[in-house]
Amino acid sequence: MAGRERLIAASDQVVERGKGVRFTVDAANGDWLPAFAVRYRGAVYAYVNRCAHVSLELDWNEGEFFDITGLYLLCATHGAAYFPDSGKCAAGPCKGGGLHPLETAEHDGNIYLIEQKDIFDDQ
Ligand code: FES
C-alpha cells in the first residue's frame, strides 16, 4: 500500500540538473534524517542526504549536488560520485555502496514524498 504523500516542493523549484531541494524524513527510531530531491532527465529523484563512504551530507554548498558536468551527484567531502537516477556509486570512495532512495510523486505542480514506515536507521 502506498504511503501518505507529504509536500516537499513546488515542481518549478527543482530544475533540471540544478540546485536540489533539501528536506527531512522521519527515521525508524523517531529521529529525522536529512534528504534531498533533484531533477535529472525530467524526472525527480530523492535520496537520504548521507554519503555511502562516511555518514556525511553530500552538498558542497547548500542544495548543490550535481558535479560540473551535470551527470553525477557529487559528495563534497572526498568526491564520491553517484548516478542521479539510481543513487548507485559511479566512482570514488563509495565503491559498492549507494544513496538510500526515497519514493516521490509529482502531480498538480508539486513534488511529494511518499512517506514510508521503514526508512532505515543504522546510525
Ligand atoms: S564522505 Fe562522501 S566521499 Fe567521503
Q: pLDDT tens across 94-104, in order? A: 998 999 999 99
Q: pLDDT tens across 56-88, in order? A: 999 989 999 999 999 999 999 999 999 999 999
- CB 97 near ligand 1, within 6 Å: no
Q: Nearest 5°: CA angle at 26, between 56 and 21?
A: 60
- CB 80 near ligand 1, within 6 Å: yes
Name the burial class of residue 80, with classes exposed (0-12), middle (13-18) and buried (19+) by CB atoms within 10 angstroms of its CB. buried
Q: Ligand 1: which of 47, 53, 89, 95 to mutate, judged by most atoms within 8 Å of the beta carbon?
A: 53
Closest listed residue to residue 80, CA positions, set 94, 67, 70: 94
Domain boundaries, the chain: 5-114
Ligand 1 atom at minimum distance from 76 CA:
2
- CB 75 near ligand 1, within 6 Å: yes
Q: Using the predicted structure, report yes or no on whether residue 10 has a pLDDT greater than 50.
A: yes
* Residue 36 C-alpha from the chain's centroid: 4
Q: pLDDT tens across 12-41, in order? A: 999 999 999 999 998 888 889 999 999 999
Q: Which CATH architecture has domain 5-114?
A: 3-layer Sandwich (2.102)
pTM: 0.93
